[in-house]
Amino acid sequence: MLLSMLDVLRHRAYRRLFAAQVIALVGTGLATVALGLLAYDLAGSDAGSVLGTALAIKMVAYVAIAPVVGAIGDRLPRRGLMVSADLVRAGVAVFLPFVDQVWQVYVLVFLLQSASAAFTPTFQAVIPDVLPEERAYTRALSMSRLAYDLESLLSPVLAAALLSVVSYNWLFTGTVLGFVASAALVVSTALPERAARTAPGTGRRTGTGTRLFLAVPRLRALLALDLAVAAAGAMVTVNSVVYVRDVLGLPEGALPLALGAYGAGSMVVALILPRVLDKMPERAVMLPGALASAVVFAGLGAVTAAPGGGWRVPALLGLWAAFGAACSAVLTPTGRLIRRSVPPGERTAAFAAQFSLSHGCWLLTYPLAGWLGAAAGLDWAVLALGSIALSAALLAVRLWPRPPATAGTAPVGVPWAVPAPGVRR
């Protein structure tokens, strides 16, 4: 199974881009652990609130910057845009170890994530051009998901090892090195010519991706699925440090273990999905994944309300792994779904719209997870985010009905073809 996925790495351009992604994500993973511990140092038990605000600012940058990138990205050299974004991220990361005020965290997070909002949609739009054949592209999507999972799994392990010999501020050095190495790999990669644009004018193109999402039922359902994923992911990202340090009373070195459990669950699903997607449509994978995340919230509520006991540590790790698996079932096929739904010339706009709109969901759930957890307690945070996950999953089921067996199939060679009149996809 894994060997079949690794076949895609024989493509030289994709191999270098994938390596750039992995290295940058490892650096980002170190920064994630370090930011959680930095927030705890600055705010103590209110760390969830500080981290939730910082991540909300990150989402503001994503939501504001990504549509602009979608509008002008086709007019700029893609390689130059990605390299510039990497270098900006590296420059910002240099200052993170010297932060001693909460407001400084917020400013640097905004600058760092504004550069990420330029890099990520451009990177996502390049891959379908590098790997035009659908089977290879499907495996590349799973490889990309695995890259994120490696960040969640291996970066915390590396962070735990480093924390045993150095303070967490040194973890930011790994972030700098990761972005610099990513830039070097992108510079060395020859990219194919981009597909021709199909809509003129930057002003019109700023909203092109959003209009595409609103026009296709299954892309509207994707937005609801994004909200379910955001609810689960926000609980893990924002409140892991609170569960580890305050609820379970574990040392700071246990935080990477909790985050690693989430990555392990996601990785297992990402490894399985390529063969599953060869036989099953995206709908049959993504909708159950979203519904499963709501079920996991019920288990988390029980662990949170329990008065104590050593069983809660393995239970929490199991729940975090289940969250990772459910989110991966939704996120891994997303690129394939977008590729099927839009013409090649609109891919940058569509991926930028997905990036912006999905992170708009995180803009809601990040501060909710942090602020509600700090103000009312984790019980209320679990209830609120679990309700959002369930409602969003049920909405996605409603928006993405099962297509008729003989209708709605795109012509061969035109995966993005608009469905026939009356057919809802």
Specify the CATH number for the domain of residue 25. 1.20.1250.20
57 within domain boundaries: yes
CB-based contacts of 33, cutoff 8 Å, min separation 6 = 155, 156, 159, 168, 171, 255, 256, 259
Closest CA relative to residue 48, chosen from 30, 36, 59? 36
Note whether residue 171 is domain-resident.
Answer: yes
Tell me the C-alpha distance between 56 and 328, whole Å: 22
Any domain includes 343:
yes
pLDDT < 70 regions, the chain: 1-5, 36, 43-48, 51-52, 55, 70-74, 149-157, 160, 163, 166, 193-209, 345, 403-425
Q: Please indicate, yes or no, if residue 102 is contained in any of the structural domains.
A: yes
DSSP structural state of residue 408: -
User: CA angle, 86 as apex, 229 and 183 as ends, to 5°?
Assistant: 120
pLDDT at 394: 96
Inside any domain, residue 177: yes
pLDDT of 64 reads 82
Q: Report yes or no on 344 lying in a domain.
A: yes
**Selection from 133, 57, 144, 86 nearest residue 367 by Cα:** 57
Report the pLDDT value the prediction gives residue 286, as an integer from 0 to 100.
95
Is residue 119 included in any domain, yes or no? yes
197 located within any domain: no
What does the pLDDT read at residue 151?
A: 64
Residue with tokens 């995180």: 362
Contact by Cβ (8 Å): 259, 239: no
Residues whose CB falls within 8 Å of the CB of residue 310, separated by 6 or more in sequence, listed in order: none
Q: What is the pLDDT of residues 102-121, one digit of tens each?
A: 778 788 888 888 888 888 88
Residues 110 and 99: their CA atoms lie apart, in Å, by: 14
Residue 342: what are its φ and ψ, rounded to 5°?
-130, 150
pLDDT of residue 352: 77
Cα 291 to chain centroid distance, Å, stands at 18
Please tell me the number of Cα atoms within 13 Å of 407 on its side-chain side.
Answer: 11
With CA atoms as reference, report the closest residue to 389 among 225, 228, 236. Answer: 228
SS3 117: helix
Residue 204, token pair as written in the block = 């019109």
Structure tokens at 19: 């390596």
Asked if 254 and 33 count as a contact pair (C-beta separation under 8 A), the reply is no
Number of domains within the chain: 1
Helix-strand-coil split of the chain, %, nearest 5: 80, 0, 20
Whether 280 contacts 287, CB under 8 Å? no
Structural domain that includes position 27: 11-189+205-399
How far is it, in rounded angstroms, from Cα 299 to Cα 294? 9
